[in-house]
Amino acid sequence: MKALTIWQPWATLIIAGVKPYEFRGWPAPVAIRGQRIAIHAGARPVKKAEIADLIIRLRSAEAWSTALKPEALAMLERWHSNQLALPLASILGTAVLGQPRRAFEIVSEFGAKLNDSDRHEHSNWAWPLTAIEPLDPIQPAKGAQGFWDWRPL
């Protein structure tokens, strides 16, 4: 199975079903669209400032800019005071990778009228992730950049 490494807290937000898209500067490979992929939480330590920024934006009129569902706020507030609650270097679950869309096509789902992201060059493709299946227990894995091969235990 192909796996994709995603930094925390975003990997856990995907598995929780409150981050319906992964954003990248390139469209997902055609060969794995419609396929189930593993969601891997990278080994990079969680940055408290990134969580704080998401909390601030979710509480504001700019909540749409996070591309998160409102339910993400309570989770982020818990993790802000305890970043160690988020697992690192582990497969958290799987999801079906859908047909990539341009980010400006999906921002209205979150309440925006247009995409004015300051990360436009880095996040201009929205990859839908559906049919989420969390792993219990999660499985430690080293991970890699881009898509990589993962063999479930």
91: which strand partners?
Answer: 40, 139
Q: What is the pTM of this model?
A: 0.91
- Mean pLDDT, the chain, rounded, equals 92
Domain 2-148 part of CATH 2.30.130.30: yes
**In what helix (H) or strand (E) does residue 93 lie, and over which residues does it extend?**
strand 90-97
CA distance linking residue 22 with residue 24, whole number of Å? 7
- Interval 100-130: pLDDT, tens: 999 888 888 888 765 444 555 555 899 999 9
CA distance linking residue 128 with residue 2, whole number of Å? 16
Confidence check: pLDDT of 97 > 70? yes
Confidence check: pLDDT of 93 > 70? yes
Mean pLDDT over 67-87 rounds to 95
How do the domains of the chain map onto residue ranges?
2-148
